[in-house]
């Protein structure tokens, strides 16, 4: 009953917060319309407002769902991951230097070696810090529930930090077509539910599902703000799995991230019939 209460509360809080923030941004656009409009892969002008709206919904859903399921620390960890990813991603979305197109980890680290601090590098640092704080809260919750040695706790802290930060970054790498990152996030939420954290899964499902129609219709886009927040909350949910599952998940996340430096995810999806069908579902032809 506690899990069900947490799941329902997480969905309702997440959808409500997401819709309220989206409506507020629509009514009064900070910086004016031009600040929030970007051109997508098709050449259509779409709004970045979907990103901070989703991040807000994820944070509210995680916080309320965690409290209702008596996992307040885990809920707070999800909210921190959502807000850190959302804020850092929004800074990158709105302030990115379009003259310097440094992309990926390699590009941002290369810029640092040249003495340039990109908004992408700032985002990596902020997401990493948020992941560390989230992992610390998760660790405290785990020690209270299970009890672990100091050495095991330290290893879990490192593993969970990598998992949260890595998943935040990975989901953003999929945000290249309408609806794609949201679908990846929803698949991640299903994995979180299987891992035994239904309230954390619900915190993702509610606001992500509410964001999907506008994203598929190419009215909104997540941008780094929404995608990083989405991945961060999924990552926090995955920290509730066993250590073996977390190790496998972290290895997969790191492997895919490294592969993205050399392989186009879009090309792989287009050449794989099942993935191509799922990717195209609900999208404009």
- Each of the 285 residues of the chain gets a pLDDT tens digit; together they read 777 888 999 999 999 999 999 999 988 888 788 889 998 888 889 999 999 999 999 999 999 999 998 899 999 999 999 999 999 999 988 887 555 555 655 655 555 566 566 777 788 899 999 999 999 999 988 877 676 677 788 999 999 999 999 999 999 999 999 999 999 999 999 999 998 889 999 999 999 999 999 999 999 999 999 999 999 999 999 999 999 999 999 999 999 999 998 899 999 999 999 999 999 999 988
Q: In the numeric block, which tokens belong to residue 83?
A: 């807000």
| Contacts by residues 99-106 (CB-CB < 8 Å, ≥ 24 positions apart) | 104/260, 104/261, 105/169, 105/257, 105/261, 106/261
Quote the crossing angle between the two packed helices 243-260 and 150-173, to the nearest 10°.
40
């Amino acid at each position: 009953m506690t899990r069900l209460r947490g799941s329902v509360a997480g969905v309702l809080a997440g959808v409500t917060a997401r819709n309220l923030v989206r409506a507020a941004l629509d009514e009064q656009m900070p910086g004016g319309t031009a600040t929030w409009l970007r051109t997508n892969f098709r050449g259509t002008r779409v709004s970045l407002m979907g990103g901070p709206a989703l991040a807000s919904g994820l944070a509210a859903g995680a916080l309320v769902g965690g409290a209702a399921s008596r996992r307040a620390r885990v809920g707070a960890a999800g909210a921190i991951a959502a807000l850190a990813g959302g804020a850092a991603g929004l800074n990158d979305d709105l302030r990115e230097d379009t003259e310097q197109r440094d992309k990926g980890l390699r590009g941002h680290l290369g810029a640092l070696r040249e003495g340039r601090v990109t908004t992408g590098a700032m985002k990596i640092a902020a997401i990493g810090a948020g992941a560390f704080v989230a992992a610390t809260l998760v660790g405290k919750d785990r020690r209270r529930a299970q009890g672990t040695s100091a050495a095991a706790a330290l290893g879990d802290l490192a593993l969970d930090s990598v998992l949260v930060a890595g998943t935040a970054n990975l989901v953003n790498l999929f945000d290249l077509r309408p609806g794609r990152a949201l679908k990846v996030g929803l698949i991640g939420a299903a994995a979180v539910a299987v891992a035994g954290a239904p309230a954390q899964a619900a915190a993702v499902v509610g606001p992500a599902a509410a964001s999907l129609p506008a994203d598929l219709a190419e009215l909104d886009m997540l941008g780094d703000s929404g995608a990083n927040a989405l991945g961060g909350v999924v990552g926090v949910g995955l920290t509730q799995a066993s250590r073996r599952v977390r190790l496998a998940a972290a290895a997969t996340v790191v492997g895919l991230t490294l592969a993205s430096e050399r392989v186009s995810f879009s090309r792989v999806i287009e050449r794989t019939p099942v993935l191509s069908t799922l990717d195209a579902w609900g999208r404009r032809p």
